Amino acid sequence: MALGIVRSLFSLISSGTELKVFKGAFEHATLDVNIEAMKHTTMKYPLKYGYSLVGIVTRCASDVIDAPSLVGKQVFTFSPHSSLIQVHRNNVQVLPYGIRAEDAIFLPSIETALSIVHDAKLNEGESVAVMGQGLIGLLVNAILSLQRHVKVGSLATDIFNSVTVFETSPDRLLMASAMGADQCLSPSEIAGAGLFDVCIEVSGNPIALQSAIDRTKPGGRIIIASWYGTETVGLKLGMDFHRSHKTLISSQVSEIPAHMLALWSKERRFKLSWDLLRRLQPSRLLTKRMDLDHAQEAYELLDKGQEIVIAFKY
Domain 115-259, CATH 3.40.50.720 — does that match? yes
Q: Give the pLDDT confidence score for residue 57 in this predicted structure.
A: 95
Q: Is the per-residue pLDDT at 157 higher than 60?
A: no
Q: Specify the domain boundaries for CATH 3.40.50.720 within the chain.
A: 115-259
Does position 235 have pLDDT exceeding 80, yes or no?
A: yes
Q: Is the pLDDT of residue 103 over 90?
A: yes
In whole numbers, what is the pLDDT of the chain averaged over residues?
A: 89
Q: Higher model confidence: residue 288 or residue 148?
A: 288
Side-chain half-sphere exposure of 60, counting CA atoms within 13 A: 19
Q: Which residues of the chain form CATH 3.90.180.10? A: 2-105+281-313
* pLDDT score at 29: 58
142 or 24: which leads in pLDDT: 142
Residue 30's pLDDT band (cuts 50, 70, 90): low
Domain 2-105+281-313 architecture: Alpha-Beta Complex (3.90)
Q: Give the pLDDT confidence score for residue 20 in this predicted structure.
A: 79
In the predicted structure, residue 271 carries a pLDDT above the cut 60: yes
What does the pLDDT look like over 291-309, one tens digit per residue? Answer: 999 999 999 999 999 999 9
Residue range 251-280: average pLDDT? 94
Stretch 32-46: mean pLDDT, rounded? Answer: 61
Q: What is the pLDDT of residues 5-15, one digit of tens each?
A: 999 999 999 98
Reported as a pLDDT band with limits 50, 70 and 90, residue 49 is confident
pLDDT at 104: 98
pLDDT at residue 154, rounded to an integer = 57
* Interval 58-88: pLDDT, tens: 998 888 888 888 899 999 999 999 999 999 9
**Which of 29-38, 222-231, 287-296 holds the top average pLDDT?**
287-296
Summarize pLDDT for 117-156 with one digit per residue, the tens: 999 999 888 999 999 999 999 999 999 998 876 555 555 5
Residue 228 banded pLDDT, cuts 50, 70, 90? confident
pTM: 0.89
Q: What is the pLDDT of residue 63?
A: 85
